[in-house]
Amino acid sequence: MALDTNFLVSLLFSLLIFAITSILFLSHCKSSKSRTNKRLPPGQMGLPWIGETIDFCKAQKKNRLYEDFIQARIKKHGKTFRTRLMGHPTVVVNGAEANKFFLSNEFKLVVSSWPSSSVQLMGLNSIMEKRGESHRCLRAIVATSLGSTGLESLVPRICGTVKTHLEKYWNGGAKTIRLYNLTKVLTFTIVIECLLGIESKPGLMELFERVLEGVFAAPVDFPGSKFSRAKGARNEIEQMLVDIIRQKRKELTEQVKQESRVEDEEKGILLTRLVEALIRGDVSEAEVVDNVVLLVFAAHDTTSFSIAMTFRMLAHNPNCYSVLEKEHELITRGRAPGETLTYEDTKKMKYAWQVARESMRIFPPIFGSFRKAIQDIEFDGYTIPKGWKVLWTAYGTHYDPMYFKDPLNFNPSRFEDPIQPYAYVPFGGGPRLCAGYQLAKLNILVFVHYVVTGYDWSLESPDEPITVDPLPFPSQGMPVRISPKLP
Ligand code: HEM
């Protein structure tokens, strides 16, 4: 009887196992069948794991990502093609429709996807890692500080910083400076001092730059590696920021008078807004720290590179430079000598902004970025499986004659006419559109104004190669011969 019962139990158990295995097997067959029914975009996945990463990185390093990697594959496979990059199956998409589809469907079909080293160095609480309500909350804080009202109050401080910078590094007779390297110092000072109200002590920029160097490095944490040095720098910055944030919190909590509050805002509107949100309990201290690090990263190399490329294109196109000079002489004539620029003045710099936009079309500071499909996506007649990466690029439209006639021709006036939405995307688009776009614009315009009206200049190396590591920069730091303009 005991044997019979044991036999019955083991029989039932075997039947159960058989039933579960059959269900799993059938559902696997069904899902593989439905997967094979889906049409993947054409393309080549390359070697196992590594895929086509080597070709991609080689092209990117030479700043020829479009010519050597993307364009070659568009010719072979069409505007939507698949590849494998850094271990991930990836679909590269091109064109305004693609940009619109993927950028505006952030959070619904895709989410932004940064390498592990970037996430670890910027912090899990930075805006780039946030979704839904917490993303909206942080964006609102940044938007109120960097919207037109916030920026209007920043104009005199930015002008003062630019003038001090020029007096320190550009004055002193005819000489050669490295324009790109110096603009990095300037944009860092503007973000750290004007926006965050933190004193830019010697060595601080280098500390931040050490973090940035590790952002796209392999996340291997052994002594001496780029990533490990970056992590060490990030820890130092974190300690410094925690002290500053706690001090600011104390000051804001103790403040009772409205006047001192306004004064404090002028000392660093964005940090003030973040710490106010911390006091209200809307954000945590870790969120304030991570977002300060992220903002410096987002603003630093991007703005400096766009300023450098604006000057490079002006040097290559003397006719455009004459038009620009006239625009700025007129603005100077409307002011008393030494009088600082106003926000209204910057609105008159229409041609300067066209020149800067056209320079960013040809030399986008950020070539594009990766997204991850959070469900199977139907696009352009193909299926992009859930979990695959999607890469949108600015080149996919900026260099396409369908959107920009004679795309290799430098023509700032093309921006007099409306541009098709999502064709011009140096600042991205959709819910993750660059939150510092207005600040970058102001920084570029104010700097261009003071240089053009105050100095004669010429490039020492007009065809200096642009290299990329991980963001683009002129390989020699852009040597420029300068001399103050004679009155
Ligand atoms: C010429 C200069 C700049 C360029 C070309 C640029 C470009 C971009 C691009 C393409 C994105 C979107 C990335 C994506 O979709 O994955 C972005 C996002 C962002 N940018 Fe900028 N940026 C510039 C300057 C700045 C400045 C000055 C700041 C702030 C001080 C800033 C803050 C941000 C932030 C916070 C985001 C993330 C927005 C979010 O995830 O919601 N950027 N930027």
Q: What domains does the chain contain, in order, with CATH numbers?
A: 41-123+367-425 (3.30.43.20), 124-366+426-484 (1.10.630.10)
Which of 395, 434, 441, 473, when mutated, tests ligand 1's pocket best, judged by the most ligand atoms within 8 Å of its CB?
Answer: 434
Provide mean pLDDT across the span 243-259: 84
pLDDT confidence of 463, banded at 50, 70, 90? very high
CA distance 329 to 273: 37
Q: Under DSSP, is residue 39 helix (H, G, I), strand (E, B) or coil? A: coil
Question: What ranges make up the beta strands (E) of 17-75?
Answer: none
**What tokens were used for 85?**
């990059």
pLDDT, tens only, 72-81: 999 999 999 9
The least confident of 28-32, 377-381, 480-484 is: 28-32
Residue 378 pLDDT more than 60? yes
Per-residue confidence (pLDDT) for residue 151, from 0 to 100: 87
Question: Would you say the CB of residue 291 lies under 6 angstroms from ligand 1?
Answer: no
Q: Give the residue whose CA is nearest to atom 32 of ligand 1.
A: 436
Provide mean pLDDT across the span 338-360: 95
Output the CA angle 461-467-470, nearest 5 degrees.
Answer: 145
Residue 349 pLDDT more than 80? yes
320 is in an annotated binding site: no
Per-residue confidence (pLDDT) for residue 262, from 0 to 100: 52
Question: Would you say the CB of residue 92 lies under 6 angstroms from ligand 1?
Answer: no
- Å from CA of 266 to ligand 1 middle: 23
**Residue 479 parent element (H or E):** strand 479-484
Question: Would you say the CB of residue 426 lies under 6 angstroms from ligand 1?
Answer: yes
Question: What ranges make up the beta strands (E) of 366-431?
Answer: 368-373, 377-379, 382-384, 389-393
Q: How many residues does the chain have?
A: 487
Question: Would you say the CB of residue 295 lies under 6 angstroms from ligand 1?
Answer: yes
Per-residue confidence (pLDDT) for residue 334, from 0 to 100: 85
- Å from CA of 302 to ligand 1 middle: 8
- Å from CA of 412 to ligand 1 middle: 22
pLDDT, tens only, 138-178: 999 998 888 888 888 899 999 999 999 999 999 988 999 99
Q: What number is the ipTM of this complex?
A: 0.99
- Å from CA of 29 to ligand 1 middle: 44
CA distance 454 to 450: 6
Question: Would you say the CB of residue 139 lies under 6 angstroms from ligand 1?
Answer: yes
Q: Which residue has the tokens 């993303």?
A: 135
Please say whether the beta carbons of 313 and 358 come within 8 A: yes
CA distance 404 to 300: 28
CA distance 417 to 14: 74
Question: Which residues are within 8 A (CB) of 66 and not within 5 positions of it... i.e. 6 or more apart?
Answer: 393, 395, 396, 399
Bridge partner list, 112:
371
CA distance 24 to 430: 40
Higher pLDDT, 148 or 21: 148
Question: Would you say the CB of residue 303 lies under 6 angstroms from ligand 1?
Answer: yes
| Residue 470, preceding peptide bond in cis (omega within 30° of 0) | yes
Residue 31 pLDDT more than 50? no
Residue 20 pLDDT more than 50? no
- Percent of the chain beyond pLDDT 90? 80
- Å from CA of 40 to ligand 1 middle: 31
Residue 5 pLDDT more than 80? no
The number of the ligand 1 atom at minimal distance from the alpha carbon of 443 is 27
Question: Would you say the CB of residue 302 lies under 6 angstroms from ligand 1?
Answer: yes
Per-residue confidence (pLDDT) for residue 150, from 0 to 100: 83
Residue 458 pLDDT more than 70? yes
**What tokens were used for 427?**
């600042």
Please say whether the beta carbons of 242 and 285 come within 8 A: yes
CA distance 350 to 352: 6
Question: Which residues are within 8 A (CB) of 336 and not within 5 positions of it... i.e. 6 or more apart?
Answer: none
Q: Give the residue whose CA is nearest to atom 9 of ligand 1.
A: 427
Residue 14 pLDDT more than 60? no
Please say whether the beta carbons of 137 and 282 come within 8 A: yes
- Concatenating the DSSP letter of every residue in 269-315 gives HHHHHHHHHHHHTSS-HHHHHHHHHHHHHHHHHHHHHHHHHHHHHHH
The number of the ligand 1 atom at minimal distance from the alpha carbon of 135 is 41
Question: Would you say the CB of residue 441 lies under 6 angstroms from ligand 1?
Answer: no
pLDDT confidence of 29, banded at 50, 70, 90? very low
pLDDT confidence of 336, banded at 50, 70, 90? confident
- Percent of the chain beyond pLDDT 70? 90
Mean pLDDT of the chain: 90
Q: What is the dihedral of CA 250, 254, 256, 261, to 10 degrees?
A: -20
Q: Give the residue whose CA is nearest to atom 13 of ligand 1.
A: 428
Residue 264 pLDDT more than 60? no
CA distance 123 to 292: 10
Please say whether the beta carbons of 194 and 295 come within 8 A: no
Per-residue confidence (pLDDT) for residue 263, from 0 to 100: 54
pLDDT, tens only, 206-219: 999 999 999 988 88
The number of the ligand 1 atom at minimal distance from the alpha carbon of 187 is 27
Per-residue confidence (pLDDT) for residue 148, from 0 to 100: 80
Question: Which residues are within 8 A (CB) of 44 and not within 5 positions of it... i.e. 6 or more apart?
Answer: 52, 82, 83
**What tokens were used for 273?**
């807004």
pLDDT, tens only, 219-235: 898 999 999 999 999 99
How is residue 171 annotated by DSSP? Answer: -
Question: Would you say the CB of residue 368 lies under 6 angstroms from ligand 1?
Answer: no
Half-sphere exposure of 229 (CA within 13 A, CB side): 13
Most confident of 12-16, 211-215, 252-256: 211-215
- Å from CA of 113 to ligand 1 middle: 15
pLDDT confidence of 371, banded at 50, 70, 90? very high
- Å from CA of 433 to ligand 1 middle: 7
Question: Would you say the CB of residue 428 lies under 6 angstroms from ligand 1?
Answer: yes
Half-sphere exposure of 249 (CA within 13 A, CB side): 17
Provide mean pLDDT across the span 12-28: 45
Question: Would you say the CB of residue 158 lies under 6 angstroms from ligand 1?
Answer: no
**What tokens were used for 290?**
């991570």
pLDDT, tens only, 56-112: 999 999 999 999 999 999 999 999 999 999 999 999 999 999 999 999 999 999 999
Residue 33 pLDDT more than 50? no
Residue 434, CA distances (Å) to 22, 139, 194, 258 in order:
51, 10, 19, 32
Claim: this prediction has a pTM higher than 0.95: no
